[in-house]
């Protein structure tokens, strides 16, 4: 047995696509369930999750595998399945980029097992799983820890272009006004800055200096919340 035999489909013969023996179908289904559970575990690694979505990821490969197995080599059945899926309208909350990638990951496993390429499905799961966990443990893509989000509420009559300049220069290495929003029927403005505090800066002193200039209205200083990658 050579390497090509290892990665060959278990559902084909020398004449092409074969009838599906029950043993081959059960083998593909078992591998789909095992790799689906692995894909779900990989998704849960250092990631917030809910049980419903995780269970869906675990079961998705075996569902896709059944569909692909049934339409394998049958153009008419393939078109019928496409038409059936076209009638389905999915309504759900927007998913994050990682959620959508996890769904495609599980579907790819199901596609491979549905065509009988069990070894390829296993190797693919190991490679993608290792890459996913590697990127999860390294700081790649994370925002800088030094950046803080400063939100200041001011009266509509206050000239915000210059009023906070001296305080920001005193306490921050750099600062940038990223948004201005009206609130309370237009009687107040909410300013949002991205700031990097100086090493010697004290947050309480910084906020107290700002309060003397914004009329003691609301001020919030915190870490930048990372975008969930919602699509």
Query: Looking at 92-101, 103-112, 145-154, 181-190, which range is the least confident one?
Result: 92-101
pLDDT digit string, tens, across residues 39-86: 999 999 988 888 999 999 999 999 989 888 878 766 666 666 666 666
Give percent of the chain with pLDDT exceeding 70: 77
> What are the sequence ranges of the domains in the chain?
3-137, 147-223
CA–CA dist 210, 204 (Å, integer): 10
pLDDT tops 80 at residue 130: yes
- Residues whose CB is less than 8 angstroms from the CB of residue 56 and which lie 6 or more positions away in sequence, other chains included: none
CA–CA dist 182, 162 (Å, integer): 18
209-215 mean pLDDT: 90
What was the pLDDT predicted at 187? 87
Mean pLDDT, the chain, integer: 83
Per the CB < 8 A criterion, the answer to whether 149 and 225 are in contact is yes
The burial class, CB within 10 Å (0-12 / 13-18 / 19+), for 230 is exposed
pLDDT tops 90 at residue 150: yes
What was the pLDDT predicted at 160? 83
Strands ordered across the beta sheet of 147-155: 172-183, 188-197, 147-155, 219-223
Task: Report the interhelical angle of 97-114 vs 51-71 (nearest 10°).
Answer: 30
Fold of 147-223: Alpha-Beta Plaits (3.30.70)
């Amino acid at each position: 047995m050579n390497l090509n035999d290892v990665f060959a489909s278990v559902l084909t013969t020398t004449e092409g696509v074969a009838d599906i023996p029950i043993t081959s179908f059960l083998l593909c289904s078992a591998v789909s369930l095992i790799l689906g559970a692995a894909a779900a575990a990989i998704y849960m690694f250092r990631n917030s999750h809910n049980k419903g979505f995780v269970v869906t990821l675990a079961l998705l490969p075996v569902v896709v595998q059944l569909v692909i197995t049934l339409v394998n080599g049958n153009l008419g059945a393939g078109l019928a399945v496409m038409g059936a899926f076209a009638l389905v309208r999915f309504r759900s909350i927007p998913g994050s980029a990682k959620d959508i990638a996890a769904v495609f990951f599980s579907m790819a496993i199901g596609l491979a097992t549905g065509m009988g390429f069990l070894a390829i499905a296993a190797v693919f799961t190991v490679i993608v799983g290792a890459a996913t966990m590697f990127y999860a443990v390294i700081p790649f893509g994370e925002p800088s820890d030094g950046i803080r989000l400063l939100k200041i509420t001011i009266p509509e009559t206050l000239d915000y272009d210059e009023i906070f300049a001296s305080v920001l220069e005193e306490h921050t290495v750099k600062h940038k006004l990223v948004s201005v929003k009206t609130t309370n029927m237009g009687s107040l403005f909410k300013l949002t800055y991205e700031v990097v505090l100086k090493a010697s800066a004290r947050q309480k002193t910084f906020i107290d200096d700002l309060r003397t200039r914004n009329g003691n209205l609301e001020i919030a200083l915190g870490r930048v919340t990372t975008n969930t990658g919602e699509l």
